[in-house]
Amino acid sequence: MPDVILLDLMLPGLDGLEICKKIRNHPKLFNTVIIMITARGDEIDKVVGLELGADDYMSKPFSVREVIARIKAIFRRIDAKGSNTSLNICTKNDSLRIDYETGEVFVADEKVNLSYMEFKLLEVLAHNRGNIVQRQELFRQVWGYELVEETRTLDVHIRKLRKKLGDDEKYPNLIETVRGLGYKLK
């Protein structure tokens, strides 16, 4: 199974967004990192791509060096293991269990399928539980690069993560938005 899939949205005769959805629904590929590489650079294209399951989105033009650097950053994160193998978090309504060794997440003993980036995002928030993690720091730790311009990537991933964890977006019990600063895991 591949570790990373570089996916162009505009393939001849194929729809890259549909391929992305199929990968996310495939039992052996759902956790594979997907980087969309495309000429479509409008914000709506990026948001749709990320909402459908891409972990990163790169608009052309870009350099091969940048692609390689992003892939290396992903592999560094994959290879980095935390010292704790499991973390249990009790919330008001449900319990959340994160198994760092297997990469599995459970809410009320039900397994939740997360993408690699969603898992990394939850992992960073969990290691800093109760503390605000600034947007810039989340980008550095999860995506492996500094946030140089305002982007909705983080917000889209947080929204997807909340939905998968059963956390209410308007009244979250688990992941709190701290306006102007970042996010924290309660």
pLDDT digit string (tens) for 133-142?
A: 998 888 888 8
In the chain, which segments carry CATH 1.10.10.10?
A: 82-186
Whether residue 87 is predicted with pLDDT greater than 60 in this model: the reply is no
How far apart are the C-alpha atoms of 8 and 152, rounded to whole Å? 20
Note every long-range contact of 138-142, with CB atoms under 8 Å and residues 24 or more positions apart, other chains counting: 138/182, 138/183, 142/77, 142/117
Query: Could you tell me which of 40, 62, 28 has the C-alpha nearest to residue 145?
Result: 62
CATH topology for the 1-80 domain: Rossmann fold (3.40.50)
Q: Which of 47-51, 76-80, 159-163, 173-177 has the lowest mean pLDDT?
A: 76-80
User: What is the structure's pLDDT at 183?
Assistant: 93
Residue 184 near residue 131, CB atoms below 8 Å:
yes
Domain made up of 82-186: CATH architecture: Orthogonal Bundle (1.10)
Residue 50 near residue 161, CB atoms below 8 Å:
no
Whether residue 78 is predicted with pLDDT greater than 70 in this model: the reply is no
Q: Is the peptide bond before 61 cis (omega within 30 degrees of 0)?
A: yes
For residue 84, the tally of other CB atoms under 10 A from its CB is 12
User: What is the structure's pLDDT at 82?
Assistant: 45
In the chain, which segments carry CATH 3.40.50.2300?
A: 1-80
Whether residue 94 is predicted with pLDDT greater than 60 in this model: the reply is no
Residue 124 near residue 142, CB atoms below 8 Å:
yes
Give one word for 65, left, alpha or beta, with left for phi > 0 and alpha for psi -120 to 50: alpha
User: What is the structure's pLDDT at 159?
Assistant: 92
